[in-house]
Amino acid sequence: MPSQLIVAAEEGNSPMSLWDLRRAISPIREFAGHTEGVIGMSWCPYDSSFLISCSKDNRTICWDTVTGEIVTEIPTNSNGTFDLHWYRKIPGVVAASSYDGKLGIYNLGFRGRYAGGRDAGSGLDGAQC
């Protein structure tokens, strides 16, 4: 049963925080990387230790929720990303919607980790529609 929750503010620059609802006295981890409010987040459906977030600072960041480190960052879009979704059929593929009406599809390189194939490495491949 899931017991963790990520909390972020849409305004300001406070870090996102990870809470364990079984011990909700204080956050177990904070994620400082966005300089403005967070407007979208999505957990990886294959591995809940990965989370992707987008912010008003026009950054889209993939986090390792176990270490709190940034795994990778999707290239900055000058119009900003407002919505993110992991593709459930291919591990590591993310769709990012931006305010200019474009949809970016990005491979974060997780495929080898879950498909039993060769590791795709940490490179980031992307395309915009």
Give the pLDDT confidence of 109-120 residue by residue, as tens digits.
765 454 433 333
Residues of the chain with confidence (pLDDT) below 70? 1, 110-129
pLDDT of residue 120: 39
HSE-CB of 101 using CA atoms within 13 angstroms: 0
pLDDT of residue 124: 55
| Lateral strand order in the sheet of 4-7 | 4-7, 16-20, 29-31
Considering the entire predicted model, what is its pTM? 0.80
- Count CB-CB contacts under 10 A for residue 44: 20
pLDDT of residue 126: 54
pLDDT of residue 79: 81
Give the span between the Cα atoms of 55 and 59, in whole angstroms: 6
pLDDT of residue 36: 92
Domain boundaries, the chain: 38-128
pLDDT of residue 61: 94
The CATH number assigned to the domain with range 38-128 reads 2.40.10
